[in-house]
Amino acid sequence: MREQINSGKWTEEELDILLKESSGISDPGERIDFLSKQFLKIKYQESTLIGDINTHEVFVINLEGVDCFTFIEYIEAMRRSGSFNEFRENLRKVRYLSGRIAFENRNHFFTDWKAFNPDFVVDITKYISSGKSKEVSKILNKRDDGTLFLPGLSCRLRGLTYIPSIYVDDAVIEKLKTGDYAGIYSETGGLDVSHVGIIIREQNAVKLRHASSVGKYMEVVDEDFKDYQEAKPGIIVLRPRGMQGGS
């Protein structure tokens, strides 16, 4: 197995300590909050993974810089781990179908988690929508003009449920829990979402903790979730297994 590890601001020993501490937090959402808080201000960095149709897949851990999707991958793997070695193993399971490291097995799309990691997360979008969700079918990876986003990856017909942003009202937001993974639904052909992050409830505020590519940030930040999503097409929400409500 080809492997590339950059543990960022931590040593592997420090990650062992962090993961041992987090494993003592019984609530999955609180554990996700604790772990993801450690990533605040870590820089946004795209294209950190290695592998495509022409390049052999390398198993990459890069905690020095994350994009929106590698951020939640690392957090989901960490919340299932009590040591760095467990984290490595769980990241393989989160990132790849059946943990088999290959470009074609990588979970490239947010809803691949729902399809291929049903033991990890459950789609609660319809559950929290107050009957206002919409259902669509998309061919993931295939643009409207027939070209592929990721050459060499097969197209996947998938039914999606999302809540249009105009219906993401206080009643919907009230049902969100700390630790939920929120995807911003994409109207672009071939994509399920355009961005992902983690829901964090703090007193009366609901935040989106995410790796932002916006110029003024370019790092992991917390932003008001309702404000962030209101100009977007809608949301898809996956809830980690073990959390109460919809799981």
pLDDT tens for each residue of 195-244 = 999 999 998 899 999 999 999 999 999 999 999 999 999 999 999 998 86
3-state DSSP assignment of residue 92? helix
- What is residue 16's DSSP assignment? H
Domain that holds residue 77: 3-105
* Phi then psi dihedrals of residue 196, to 5 deg: -140, 160
CATH classification of the domain holding 32: 1.10.3670.10
Residues 58 and 169 in one domain: no
Residues 191 and 219 in one domain: yes
Residues 130 and 69 in one domain: no
CA distance from start to end of the chain: 34
Q: Which residues contact 189 (CB under 8 A, 6 or more apart)?
A: 138, 139, 142, 143, 144
Q: What is the pLDDT of residue 243?
A: 80
pLDDT digits (tens, 9 = 90+) for 64-84: 999 999 999 999 999 999 999
The residue with tokens 């470009």 is: 103
Residue 247 lies in a domain: no
Nearest CA to 150 among 211, 109, 100?
109
Overall number of domains in the chain:
2
Q: Which percentage of the chain shows pLDDT scores above 70?
A: 98
- What is residue 228's DSSP assignment? H
Residue 229 lies in a domain: yes
* Phi then psi dihedrals of residue 152, to 5 deg: 95, -10
Residues 224 and 139 in one domain: yes
* Phi then psi dihedrals of residue 79, to 5 deg: -70, -10
Residues 218 and 165 in one domain: yes
Looking at per-residue confidence, does 244 or 161 come out higher? 161
DSSP string, 125-167: HHHHTTT--EEEEEEETB-TTS-BSSTTSPPEEEEEEEEEGGG
pLDDT higher than threshold 70 for residue 247: no
pLDDT higher than threshold 90 for residue 52: yes
Residues 86 and 132 in one domain: no
Residue 114 lies in a domain: no
Residue 59 lies in a domain: yes
What are the C-alpha distances in Å from 17 to residues 22, 93, 206?
9, 22, 29
Last residue in a domain, options 105, 137, 169: 105
Pairing label, strands 234-240, 121-123: antiparallel
Residue 111 lies in a domain: no
Last residue in a domain, options 105, 129, 158: 105
Q: What is the pLDDT of residue 245?
A: 59
- Identify each DSSP E strand in 27-129 by its residue range: 43-44, 50-52, 55-62, 65-66, 121-123
The stretch 37-60 carries a mean pLDDT of: 97
Residues 98 and 133 in one domain: no
Residues 44 and 87 in one domain: yes
Q: What is the pLDDT of residue 204?
A: 86
Contact 224, 55 (CB under 8 A): no
How far is Cα 107 from Cα 12, in angstroms, rounded to an integer? 25
pLDDT digits (tens, 9 = 90+) for 90-107: 999 999 999 999 999 999
Model pTM? 0.96
Residues 95 and 188 in one domain: no
Pairing label, strands 3-6, 55-62: parallel
How far is Cα 210 from Cα 213, in angstroms, rounded to an integer? 9
Residues 77 and 139 in one domain: no
Residue 110 lies in a domain: no
Q: What is the pLDDT of residue 115?
A: 96
Last residue in a domain, options 105, 136, 158: 105
